[in-house]
Structure 1
């Protein structure tokens, strides 16, 4: 069986409008590399004809494989499925919308081979084609992640990257339930480099990353890679405990004045104190160190 040198993983969700353009642009690039390759297109439970079009193009392009998820599971889950099914010595992940130019793949592979790198990031040197809102929120996300996690997070590096087989094998055995690869990959400490590129306009269709998904990504990033949420819970617990002390005095006063029904004071204070203790113990009981 022929050894596959390069795998290209492409998560897709309702991308029927962009599939023809993706195939027309990606295939010449990969054919021009002169190495055995495969394309793992992951259909993330699309409700349109994305899967049907991929199967149609696959008849004329044998290197194109379709991996179809039963339901929409999210971009990172689709990317995980593609990485786990990839077979190449090197694995590139790229979105289907062609904002990340496929032509950069050749440069990424050449850099990895020349410098013996395990990771090569595609870094957006120019995002002028994005809306001002998109540029602002993306910048805010990376600033927040570097503040919470540290300076290892490459600025303006999304999910367009090249990984060695060794790096992919490490990712496959990690216990992450909701991996955020733009943070997880840098945290592993593999040798890395970067290739700058100009971010292009979406080839067709609409963005699959609205504000709701961007907020969810930021939350997953903070929850998985930082102790900040736990610290917030601890401070809330401490503030609640201090409030309980003040309310204890209030409860005793109203009890002494006989203005409440029997049992109200004890129940009132017990609920408040238990809530405060639970928040504090949630932090103390979590022994998993932050990344």
Structure 2
């Protein structure tokens, strides 16, 4: 009996300290799952010996396949490369830090094999492993994004999910260069279900995302999937114009009835600085959108592959 093929996708950047433990845990979890599988690891320009360790594991297990990118293109680009080379009937992204438990893969596959769902989300029921600040900012981001965007991202769902080949092929049709994968994964829709789990501490190493990078990541996600911020500028401009018109009427009436009133310096400076700040803010916001247009127009490739191991000779993205 032929089993369906599951492609496990794992971008890696400087994960040398945890690779052995990652494969040991993942392969053990896949032993009783009723699928054939391939593990596609993308080395995203690591500065340590991550690539050499991946090659060693690829020599040990022919199901492990390795892509080496020419430099560090970022996690979203590395995930895109893994998607492009995946051959599975379903794909499942998972991080190498093992905060998303491989033991959950069997339940996700079981839900998919029922034929009722094309996407199986793994939702974090608890984020105790994260700091209070990270939990709160994540909560604020999901709520803000879902209010402003036409698509809905499930709260506390990361990249760890199972997607049917139909969903993967739909995602591969999306051509944008500045990629926010959480949004792209959700954009096609399809029938889905949710499995909850408690997120664990990182098995090795530290997160590559500091708060500044997370802020830029959130800004990228919002501007990639919503024009609402620009629309806010339009509405705010109308409100300020209306208030200015009302104030002008009041000044005219007051001048005609009580004479000319010389306004104070402080109030004038407050108004000027307030309106100048609003203008600069929305000029910067407009620049975010123009910058994304600029990236799309250049049409540069999302990633470049330096070498690959374990793939068929004729297998390309």
- 2:270 equivalent in structure 1: none
8 Å CA contact 2:3, 2:35 repeated in 1: no
- 2:36 equivalent in structure 1: 36
The answer to whether residue 128 in structure 2 is matched with residue 128 in structure 1 is yes
- The secondary structure found in structure 2 opposite 1:79 is helix
- 1:109 equivalent in structure 2: 109
Superposed displacement of residue 32, structure 1: 2.3
Superposed displacement of residue 235, structure 1: 5.6
Question: 1:1-291 maps to which residues of 2 (within 5 A)?
Answer: 5-149=5-149, 152-234=152-234
Instruction: Tell which has more relative contact order, 1 or 2 (C-alpha 8 A, sep 6+).
Output: 2
Superposed displacement of residue 182, structure 1: 1.7
Gaps of 5+ in 2: 246-275, 294-317
8 Å CA contact 1:4, 1:87 repeated in 2: no
8 Å CA contact 1:3, 1:88 repeated in 2: no
8 Å CA contact 2:33, 2:109 repeated in 1: no
Gaps of 5+ in 1: 246-271
8 Å CA contact 1:9, 1:40 repeated in 2: yes
Superposed displacement of residue 229, structure 1: 3.2
CA distance in 2, matches of 1:54, 1:146: 38
8 Å CA contact 1:39, 1:65 repeated in 2: yes
> CA distance change for structure 1 residues 40 and 4 in 2, over 3 Å: closer, same or farther?
farther
Superposed displacement of residue 241, structure 1: 8.7
What TM-score comes out, normalization by structure 2 length? 0.72
8 Å CA contact 1:4, 1:38 repeated in 2: no
CA distance in 2, matches of 1:66, 1:240: 56
CA distance in 2, matches of 1:130, 1:87: 34
Number of residues of Structure 1 aligned to a counterpart in Structure 2: 253
Superposed displacement of residue 4, structure 1: 5.8
CA distance in 2, matches of 1:73, 1:240: 42
CA distance in 2, matches of 1:146, 1:56: 43
- 2:306 equivalent in structure 1: none
Superposed displacement of residue 95, structure 1: 0.7
Superposed displacement of residue 142, structure 1: 0.7
CA distance in 1, matches of 2:229, 2:78: 26
- The secondary structure found in structure 2 opposite 1:55 is helix
8 Å CA contact 1:10, 1:95 repeated in 2: yes
8 Å CA contact 2:151, 2:187 repeated in 1: no
- What is the aligned-residue RMSD (CA, Å)? 3.0
- The secondary structure found in structure 2 opposite 1:124 is strand
> CA distance change for structure 1 residues 44 and 240 in 2, over 3 Å: closer, same or farther?
farther
